Amino acid sequence: MIVIPAIDLIAGKCVRLYQGDFDQQTTYDNDPIDQAREFQSAGFTRLHVVDLEGARTGLGQNRQVIRHLVEAVDLPIQIGGGVRTSQDVLELLEFGVRYLILGTAALTDPERVSRWVERWGPTPFMISLDLKGEGLRSQGWVERSGVELAEALDRIAGWEIPQVICTDVESDGTLKQPNYSTYEKLRAQLPGDITLIAAGGISRPEHVSRLKEMGVDGVVVGRALYEGDRVWEKLIDAG
């Protein structure tokens, strides 16, 4: 299992939200570039970066920070937030971003995603399923998408996109524990050859170990890496 540290960006700063609520934002003094380098030095092997302003508005507000992040570390980086147009895809791939996370675009404009897959192939993309209760969220977790999970899974199968990241919004940023049942059900619904990455509430090595036992292939860890006891190496080892 791969353990992936998260850098969420607002106005070029590292932040964390509580349960996806932009009104419950914690801003950290950590410079994003320095933070990325520290994660690499600690032994993490991939980086998860979200442009939260881009996720909410559709406009990439932190592109230059993202470009500098890619240049600063020798890690594959997955980027989410504001990937809505072909120009967004082209620009980020030219920066050297390895994986582009599609959330709102996958839910609201599947035909566009189909064109992207036809042009660039499925490998550069990941699909984000942001769950709150039984519903899928879009626009930075703010809006109900109106798309049923079963429909979203059918689209993923059609695109042959090999990676899915699922965030349980109500667990995200809480430091409590992941919603294990969400990931257990999703793992059972996804083909075995699709990589499933879990996010939301993952803060302790035992959380990582249990998700690994359930067949989850990776986890994203955020707030736990910025606050409290430093358990970075233990999290990596649990994977």
pTM for the model stands at: 0.90
Q: What pLDDT is stored for residue 174 in this prediction?
A: 58
- Residue from 51, 88, 130, 168 carrying the catalytic annotation: 130
- pLDDT for 196-219, tens place per residue? 999 988 989 999 999 999 999 999
Q: What is the CATH number of domain 2-238?
A: 3.20.20.70
DSSP at 214: T
Amino acid at 67: R
Average pLDDT, the chain: 88
- Residue from 8, 51, 88, 172 carrying the catalytic annotation: 8
Q: Return the domain boundaries, the chain.
A: 2-238
Q: What pLDDT is stored for residue 91 in this prediction?
A: 96
Q: What pLDDT is stored for residue 175 in this prediction?
A: 66
Indicate if 130 belongs to the active site. yes
Of 32, 42, 46, the C-alpha closest to 4 is 46
Average pLDDT over residues 215-236: 88
Q: Phi-psi region for residue 87, left (φ > 0), alpha (ψ -120 to 50) or beta?
A: alpha
Average pLDDT over residues 21-35: 83
Indicate if 21 belongs to the active site. no
Amino acid at 138: S
126 within 8 A of 78, measured Cβ to Cβ: yes
